[in-house]
Chain A
Amino acid sequence: MALDCGVFHSTYESDMGLRRTPVERARMALFVGFLLVFPWLATPYWLNLANQIAIATIGAIGLNILVGYTGQVSLGQGAFMAVGAYGAGLFTLEFGLPWGVSIAAACVLTAVVGTFFGLPSLRLKGLYLAIATLAAQEIIEWVVTHWTAVTGGTEALVVPAPRMFGTRLNSDFAFYWLAVTLAGATALFTANLFRSRQGRAFVAVRDQDIAASVIGVDVFRTKLVAFATSSFFVGLAGALIAYYRTIVTWERFTLETSILYLAMIIVGGLGTIRGSFFGAALITLLPAAITNLGRALQDAAPAVAVQLPNVQQAAFGLVIILFLIFEPEGLSKLWRNVKDYFDVWPFAYRRGESRGG
């Protein structure tokens, strides 16, 4: 990782820190501070959005481990989330496990299922693997809707509300703390994962699998570990949805979900944790923003209102396309641009650096 000019480290600890400069630490502190204050000021509408973003962030980080860091394209996201959601619900309903244990067990179950469906990655790469994971999506969806004795088939699965210290945890306010804490833990784990030997192996496999195997990385094993790690977090996202909504229906975990999550990490930035968060936030907030823009216009120009729903769909697609054209590296790169800009603000550029260089 390149260091900014003028930053020196005199100890190994400071060199290895996740946040290495005072500015980075201050920014992080501000963000954490914001997260702590937010729920006290926010309305239920915003808390609901925040919880959706937190859950989507966990799912997006999970997918990013597989797609962005290890280079294995997956279209099975929705199905793996379904495994997490149904798993969490069923562990409680069938075996009477407390919700915390159920969630953990569901994550492990999803990791096992994900590893199984990662087996084709031994022989398949790129688009071919995408089709294999598409099969996973279809197979799991079929099993969930037809294994009536266990999942209840196409009927909704009603999960008991999680409780802690006598209060229900699935209210918007209480759930915020659970979701945000878990999202933070996921981000922290993943950030550290890619500083470890295993994480570096993921990246090596992505960049050039033959070279990776030459330097001693067991490529197949690494791919399977990536599938397991990724599915673990994807399962966590699914399990959280189950406990937040307390009702699980398969309609929430279709191929569209898989594609939406791929869109999140592509728009956010492949292979970055920050990008997963930005992508999750954008894909959640954008439709809400377009809706509210539409409602504002509805009063101002009722004639437009008739066509509005169609315009909203088109606008969502348009924004995504514009992002891909103007910032193919995603929101994460955009954030870096903003930082670079403020780095030298109020001057136009650094001494010795040419404009547009």
Chain B
Amino acid sequence: MRSPRTTRGWRICFSLAFLAACGGGGEDAGDDVIRIGAIFDLTGPTADIGTDYADAVRGWVEWTNGRGGIAGRQIDLVFQDYAYSVDRAEQLYSQFVQEGAIVFMGWGTGDTEALVPRVADDRIPFSSASLSHRLGDPAEAPYNFLTATSYSQQFLVALDWIAADHAEKGGSGGAGVALLHHASPFGLSPWTQLGEEYASRIGVDVELYEMPRGATDFTAEMTRIRQSGAGYIVIQNTSAPASVAVRNARSLGLDATIVCLNWCSNALLVELAGEAAEGVIGGMPYPPPDADVAGLADLGAFLEARGEDVSARTNAYTQGWFTAEIFGEGLRRAAATGEPLTGESVRAALETLTDFETGGVTVPITFSADDHRGSNGMRIYRVEGGQWRPVTDFMTAPAVP
């Protein structure tokens, strides 16, 4: 038989664990603070860009609070790392909402989709870094807002740019495009939502190639792409796998033009792919934090005041900061109506945003009661000498019925 002392030790452990779990008990947010809930990926598979995004949201809160908060009330950001786990996201979401969060900043595709019905039930305006086109349709996701161009519209812009580039280079017939995508809704959505329809309309020939999760080599896919003769490769994946694909393409001597969408067109890709990244095209709804854009002044001042190097941050930082800023504007407008701040009033306030200026950081943001896709444009960049350099100003996505 085990000695009673050991048993007592276990009981103490259990009591501690139980008490710790009890921390979830909810107290309502008082009138003095505005509570915002957030989940970040700091340790999971998307932590590479997740960390910058998270730091930006926290930075924005610090900056805003330092200037008196919103309508005289301080912002209380309650957040946790959720390591990209859907179950953890659900737990943290209900915990933070119960603690009085009235808006919520989400992250990944799996957890955002899983939370759509609950978010609608709880009436909590929800932002996510997942930019699936249908999340911006209030008929399907009434409380979700897209603060950046949806993946589908990014793809349409990329197709437009490709068609123009192809014509400029004197290519005959339609351009051949290989869409290299992550094996998930995130990866496929540019194609299934609008992309397929638009490609056939403008006569661009698109073939799909899947990037399996956790794959560390895409030589086979690149070989197939070379055989297909496609002149352009569009990558819809995060920086780490995309950088591997870029290296594979270059080591095979493939001279196709590579176009990265949102989550791989950042400084991390250049860092990881090194020399091979030269000439890669990137579509960016949000520019890098050190870009020469007036709207980035606050962000730059904040980072400099903290003694940080602005150029060390990726454009995920800009995206996190302005996602928070756009929701902050919703909170400001809701507070200005004089009615109590609730998820519903914030949603109504967000829907009044029309051509909201971000100082050239994004195209002006517009939400309406039947469209929660705030932005429909992005700039095209190119890697030159290890730096992203702008190639075009904002290109907006064509309307696809």
Which of A46, A153, A245, A313 is B117 in contact with, Cβ under 8 Å?
A: A245
- The answer on a CB contact under 8 Å between A46 and B86 is no
Complex CA–CA separation, A252 to B42 (angstroms): 19
- The answer on a CB contact under 8 Å between A293 and B98 is no
- The answer on a CB contact under 8 Å between A337 and B2 is yes
The B-contacting residues of A in range 298-357, CB under 8 angstroms, are 308-310, 312-313, 327, 334, 337-338, 340-341, 348-349, 353, 355-357
- The answer on a CB contact under 8 Å between B81 and A309 is yes
- The answer on a CB contact under 8 Å between B183 and A154 is yes
The residues of A that contact B4 with a CB separation of less than 8 Å are: 341, 348
- A155-B192, A249-B113 given as contacts; is B43 within 8 A of A295 (CB)? no
B137 to chain A, nearest CB (A): 13
- The answer on a CB contact under 8 Å between B24 and A46 is yes
Kindly report which residue of chain B lies nearest to residue A145, judged by CB atoms: B183
- A145-B183, A155-B188, A337-B7 given as contacts; is B88 within 8 A of A287 (CB)? yes
Kindly report which residue of chain A lies nearest to residue B110, judged by CB atoms: A251
- A154-B185, A338-B7 given as contacts; is B94 within 8 A of A247 (CB)? no
The residues of B that contact A285 with a CB separation of less than 8 Å are: 17, 21
Judge whether A18 is part of the interface by a CB distance below 8 angstroms.
no
B390 to chain A, nearest CB (A): 33
Kindly report which residue of chain B lies nearest to residue A245, judged by CB atoms: B114
Kindly report which residue of chain A lies nearest to residue B99, judged by CB atoms: A45
The residues of B that contact A127 with a CB separation of less than 8 Å are: none
B106 to chain A, nearest CB (A): 14
- The answer on a CB contact under 8 Å between B17 and A252 is no
- A154-B184, A245-B117 given as contacts; is B24 within 8 A of A357 (CB)? no
- The answer on a CB contact under 8 Å between A161 and B20 is no
The residues of B that contact A251 with a CB separation of less than 8 Å are: 86, 109-110, 184
Interface residues of B, count at CB 8 A: 47
- The answer on a CB contact under 8 Å between A292 and B26 is no
Interface of B is mostly: helix
- The answer on a CB contact under 8 Å between B1 and A356 is yes
- The answer on a CB contact under 8 Å between B117 and A45 is no
The residues of B that contact A353 with a CB separation of less than 8 Å are: 1
Complex CA–CA separation, A170 to B116 (angstroms): 13
The A-contacting residues of B in range 9-44, CB under 8 angstroms, are 10-11, 17-18, 20-26, 42-43
The A-contacting residues of B in range 162-205, CB under 8 angstroms, are 183-185, 187-189, 192
Bits for B190-226, please: 1 = Cβ < 8 Å to A, else 0.
0010000000000000000000000000000000000
- A52-B91, A155-B192, A289-B20 given as contacts; is B1 within 8 A of A247 (CB)? no
The A-contacting residues of B in range 101-154, CB under 8 angstroms, are 109-110, 113-114, 116-117, 121
- The answer on a CB contact under 8 Å between A43 and B25 is yes
A332 to chain B, nearest CB (A): 13
Judge whether A131 is part of the interface by a CB distance below 8 angstroms.
no
Which of A49, A291, A348 is B80 in contact with, Cβ under 8 Å?
A: A291
Complex CA–CA separation, A356 to B1 (angstroms): 5
- The answer on a CB contact under 8 Å between A292 and B20 is yes
Which of B43, B91, B109 is A309 in contact with, Cβ under 8 Å?
A: B43
Kindly report which residue of chain A lies nearest to residue B193, judged by CB atoms: A155
The residues of B that contact A124 with a CB separation of less than 8 Å are: none
Complex CA–CA separation, A145 to B25 (angstroms): 39
- The answer on a CB contact under 8 Å between A44 and B98 is yes
Complex CA–CA separation, A269 to B41 (angstroms): 32
- The answer on a CB contact under 8 Å between B24 and A154 is no
Judge whether A178 is part of the interface by a CB distance below 8 angstroms.
no
The residues of A that contact B42 with a CB separation of less than 8 Å are: 309-310
The B-contacting residues of A in range 272-298, CB under 8 angstroms, are 284-296
- The answer on a CB contact under 8 Å between A310 and B43 is yes
Which of B24, B87, B114, B116 is A52 in contact with, Cβ under 8 Å?
A: B87
B365 to chain A, nearest CB (A): 26
- A43-B26, A292-B24 given as contacts; is B83 within 8 A of A313 (CB)? yes
- A291-B92, A295-B80, A334-B10 given as contacts; is B117 within 8 A of A161 (CB)? yes
- The answer on a CB contact under 8 Å between A43 and B24 is yes
Kindly report which residue of chain B lies nearest to residue A170, judged by CB atoms: B117
B107 to chain A, nearest CB (A): 13
Judge whether B95 is part of the interface by a CB distance below 8 angstroms.
yes
Bits for A144-158, please: 1 = Cβ < 8 Å to B, else 0.
010000000111100
- The answer on a CB contact under 8 Å between B188 and A252 is no
B209 to chain A, nearest CB (A): 14
Judge whether B351 is part of the interface by a CB distance below 8 angstroms.
no
The residues of A that contact B110 with a CB separation of less than 8 Å are: 249, 251-252
Kindly report which residue of chain A lies nearest to residue B17, judged by CB atoms: A289
- The answer on a CB contact under 8 Å between B23 and A295 is yes
Q: A49-B24, A288-B91, A341-B7 are in contact. List 19 more A-B contacts (CB 8 A).
A: A45-B95, A48-B91, A48-B94, A49-B91, A154-B187, A246-B117, A247-B114, A247-B116, A249-B185, A292-B21, A293-B20, A295-B78, A310-B43, A312-B81, A313-B83, A337-B6, A337-B10, A341-B4, A357-B1
14 sample A-B contacts, Cβ–Cβ < 8 Å, listed by A number: A44-B94, A44-B97, A45-B91, A49-B91, A52-B91, A155-B192, A288-B24, A288-B91, A289-B18, A289-B21, A294-B80, A295-B78, A337-B2, A337-B6
